[in-house]
Structure 1
Amino acid sequence: MKQNHHPSFYREMDTFRLVSPAFHDGQRIPRKYTGELHDLSPPLEFYGVPGGAASLALVVEDVDAPTPESRLVPWTHWVVVNIAPAAKGFAEGFSGRTEHGDRDHDGAVEGLNDWKQPGWRGPKAPTSGHRYRFRLFALDCVLHLGHKVTKDKLLDAIDGHVIAEADLTGIF
């Protein structure tokens, strides 16, 4: 029997999405992915990557991080650039795993977080309720950011090159 799917079914399946099998959008991030326990990078899955994408880039920030003046300024926990558009995602503990001891994963490069360290550093906020925003960008180019890849360099370089963006928010 032939199934009749509504046209919106196909649009939803083709939509650029970022999900985690460990937590759903708006749910708590499990402790093993935080600085309170194992500090593993969480598993992530990518769906519907646009056909024109030359690379993907990921930025993870605590959007509720306060400054000493009590202003909210996003705090960067993870930056990854030049992810192959054919990548289906990252396995649990992806950050820091390489065969040669560097931070290059099949062309993907982990940048510096706001602790000035490469790779994932999980939530360990002094208070709970912080939102951690995972943003995945589909880009029409491969980035050349030099040896010190940072969120600021990434965001400057992608201006005018973003084909699509996918978001996932986890709560600490």
Structure 2
Amino acid sequence: MANPADEFRIVSPAIDHEGKLPRQYTQEGQGAKKNISPPLEWYNVPEGTKTLALVVQDIDAPDRDGPIVPWTHWVVVNIPPAIKGLPEGFSGKGEEVGGEYAGIKEGNNDWKIPGWRGPKLPSHGHRFEFKLYALDDEVRLGNKVTRDKLLEAIEGHVLGEALLMAIF
């Protein structure tokens, strides 16, 4: 039996013990404390990982025409495996942050814009899935990165997945 402490995992110091996503990470925050990408940390990246990719989705998003179709809030690719997380407010500032973060690329969310976009919901209680993929190869997706293109490109290259759930 593997020790849970050794598991590949993703956490956010901003998400409280009840698993709630605080308002400043949503479109319902106040003023500048609004739509900020949440801080994330990860541990025990699998051996042989060349790059990490992150997909954040509302897995309870209702389609206007019926079925529940996950709604993508954030896609991030080319995260170096040596870094241990993304700081709060990282989205849109990768170049400013620079250094080891410089090569990270943000893809388009389901609003068709790059970067993090927090939820604004008619009803609360939706589950947000932060899924981090450890990949054995760089992801080359051209200029327009989307969740679908990413998931297609990484097929057969996933060494591990880490999952964090939050509620909004």
Q: TM-score normalised to the size of structure 2?
A: 0.91
Distance 1:141 1:23, change over 3 A: same
Matched residues in 1 for 2:94 and 2:70: separation?
Answer: 28
Contact kept in structure 1, 2:36 and 2:118, CA below 8 Å: yes
Out of 13, 16, 27, the residue aligned to residue 19 of structure 2 is 27
Cα distance, 1:155 vs structure 2: 0.1
Aligned runs of 1:1-172 on 2, under 5 Å? 11-23=3-15, 27-37=19-29, 38-99=34-95, 105-172=101-168
- Of all paired residues, the percent bearing the same amino acid is 57
Contact kept in structure 1, 2:95 and 2:102, CA below 8 Å: no
Matched residues in 1 for 2:11 and 2:70: separation?
Answer: 21
Contact kept in structure 2, 1:25 and 1:169, CA below 8 Å: no
Structure 1's consecutive aligned runs of 4 or more residues displaced over 4 angstroms after TM superposition are none
Contact kept in structure 2, 1:21 and 1:44, CA below 8 Å: yes
Alignment size in residue pairs: 163
Q: TM-score normalised to the size of structure 1?
A: 0.89
- Unaligned stretches of 5+ residues in structure 1: 1-6
Query: What RMSD, in angstroms, separates the aligned Cα atoms of the two structures?
Result: 2.0
- Unaligned stretches of 5+ residues in structure 2: none
Cα distance, 1:98 vs structure 2: 3.4
